[in-house]
Structure 1
Amino acid sequence: MRTALILITAAFGAFSLYAMWQVGFIGLWQGGLANIGAQQITLDLIVSSLLLIGFVARDCRAQGRPWWPWALLTLAAGSFGTLAYLLLAAPRQHRARMPASASASA
């Protein structure tokens, strides 16, 4: 799973940098608001990001960690915030749940 997340983040990051280089940050938003179809996709992505922030917040609260840095990152950088959470914060949760015998062999 972690390898897939790394590959997705790298590929999407490369594509995002290329798009930003081509049209700039403002150009990305102009394209996303250019017509009703683009507006629907942009709104759908905003709704999805807000839902993901809710899941991250619930997960962080359950672990006693602050959720707001991940929310700010998601609001500023879109899915990169959630991808960063899954890559950097979520793995600690899974390691903590592993039995002692499994963590010794990992």
Structure 2
Amino acid sequence: MRAITCNVIAFIQRAAHTGFTSKGNLMNKALLIAVLVVFSALTVYTMVHYGGLIPWLLFYTRDPASWQIFSDLLIAMCLLLVFMKKDAAATGRPFWPWAIFSITCGSFGPLLYFITAKKPA
């Protein structure tokens, strides 16, 4: 899992310096929107399946294996927030609203951050 996380971080760092792709264009927004839609559907299904946020949290915080997965996701989110902070400063976008949204809503924050990015000049 660590190797995968490191590869994702390296990709994001390269993307930040090249306009999100090797061709200098923004990451394919249609792909990001598709990921957002599918992830939203999965999230709704999961919340309905477990009966809401509290039962879901209780289920996924019951044992050390769950704590490890949550910790890994938290570390990945913190690394992504570091990237988002640097990108926001470079592009003149506000960082704190996106940071708060990302911390409270998980992957929805970074996905929407990238979807709403303006094309570099």
Superposition TM-score, scaled by structure 1 size: 0.81
2:25 alignment partner in structure 1: none
- Structure whose alpha-carbon radius of gyration is higher: 1
2:31 alignment partner in structure 1: 4
Q: CA deviation at 1:28?
A: 2.2
Check conservation: 1:70, 1:81, Cα contact below 8 A: yes
2:100 alignment partner in structure 1: 72
Aligned residue-pair number: 93
Q: Structure 1: which 5+ residue stretches go unaligned?
A: 98-106
Pair 1:60 & 2:84 matched: no
Residue identity over aligned pairs, in percent, reads: 33
Correspondence list, 1:23-62, <5 A: 23=50, 24-62=52-90
Pair 1:16 & 2:43 matched: yes
Supply the AA of the counterpart residue of 2:100.
L
Superposition TM-score, scaled by structure 2 size: 0.72
Q: Greater relative contact order: 1 or 2 (C-alpha under 8 angstroms, separation 6 or more)?
A: 2
Q: CA deviation at 1:80?
A: 0.4
Q: Structure 2: which 5+ residue stretches go unaligned?
A: 1-27
Pair 1:96 & 2:120 matched: yes
Check conservation: 1:70, 1:85, Cα contact below 8 A: yes
Q: CA deviation at 1:10?
A: 0.5
- Deviating above 3 A after TM superposition, structure 1's stretches of 4 or more consecutive aligned residues are none
Q: CA deviation at 1:19?
A: 0.7
